[in-house]
Amino acid sequence: MSSTNNPDTTKNLFFISEISSNHNKSLERSLKLIEASAESGCSAVKFQLFKIDKLFSVEVLSQSEKHRKRKEWELPVEFIPELSKKCKELGLKFSCTPFYIEAVSQLEPYVDFYKIASYELLWDDLLIEVAKTRKEIILSTGMASLSEIKHAVDVLRANDCSKLTLLHCISAYPTPYQQANLSAIKTIRDHTSCDVGWSDHTADPIVIHRAISKWNAKTIEFHIDLDGKGGEAGIGHCWLPHQIKKVIFDANRSLLADGDGIKAPVKAEFNDRLWRADPTDGLRPMKEIRDKWQTF
């Protein structure tokens, strides 16, 4: 990860670069996307592992060419070891979303954490299989009601989930910023006692900054593309590397500006303290340093 990209430093924010299907089934492109994520200041990279015949029903696939074409978006399983290795080389966490039961075991030797997608939130069998690995889990909550979220959390916790983070998410691609409903971050947090972040589909810097500064989101997921030529790039919810790099840099800077909350002189003020008005006569600077300015 580029040392010049992040301010001196806060480890509080965890930015996840979602490659999704912008890899175009190319290992070379996948590795370049990981490199771009590192250079942008990300903490983790996430891919998706699905097979369309395990994702959609026979009825849909037999009648919908649009859904059959999603086969072009599949990530080859044989890429997984190389993707994980590249992330480790660059100091990134590697994650992948399993969309079928067998994918959980295929990913287990390689992922630092699992991501469960909003569309799979209702599937208890998948939740249980992932939880049984005892690895960290991040769960998106797009389209879900609060009761559905609480049920998923209960299932994961009942099956030994070691660490769970939820992401407030709007599953619209792209999401109008007016519908981001960021205040739901607090609602979910209050009702689940989980850390809650934001999974972004707005591609709007203001929304990400607001999620962090107002609603204390520490985990931010976003979709990245390399050059506008990724499989999902035309939809409108993806970021290019130079765009998200500035957002991540500014977000980390803004946290540093918060300070520790203690009202006391800071280092930048030390030299000016003796130049305040002396309380005995109201003149600057303090009498204890006026001798340096005495006229002979």
pLDDT digits (tens, 9 = 90+) for 223-232: 999 999 999 9
Q: Beta 195-199 vs 164-169: how paired, if at all?
A: parallel
Q: Are residues 203 and 296 in the same domain?
A: no
Distance CA 1, CA 3 (A): 6
Distance CA 292, CA 149 (A): 68
Mean pLDDT rounded to a whole number for the chain: 94
- Residue 74's SS3 state is coil
Q: Are 206 and 250 in contact (CB under 8 A)?
A: no
Q: Are residues 188 and 286 in the same domain?
A: no
pLDDT tens digits, 29-47: 999 999 999 999 999 999 9
How many domains does one find in the chain?
2
Question: Which residues span the domain enclosing 151?
Answer: 14-258
Q: Are residues 254 and 277 in the same domain?
A: no
* 5, pLDDT greater than 80: no
Packed helices 241-258 and 205-213: angle between N→C axes, nearest 10 degrees = 30
Q: What is the mean pLDDT of residues 67-84?
A: 96
CATH of the domain at 165: 3.20.20.70
Q: Are residues 56 and 151 in the same domain?
A: yes
Please give the model's pTM, rounded to 2 decimal places. 0.91
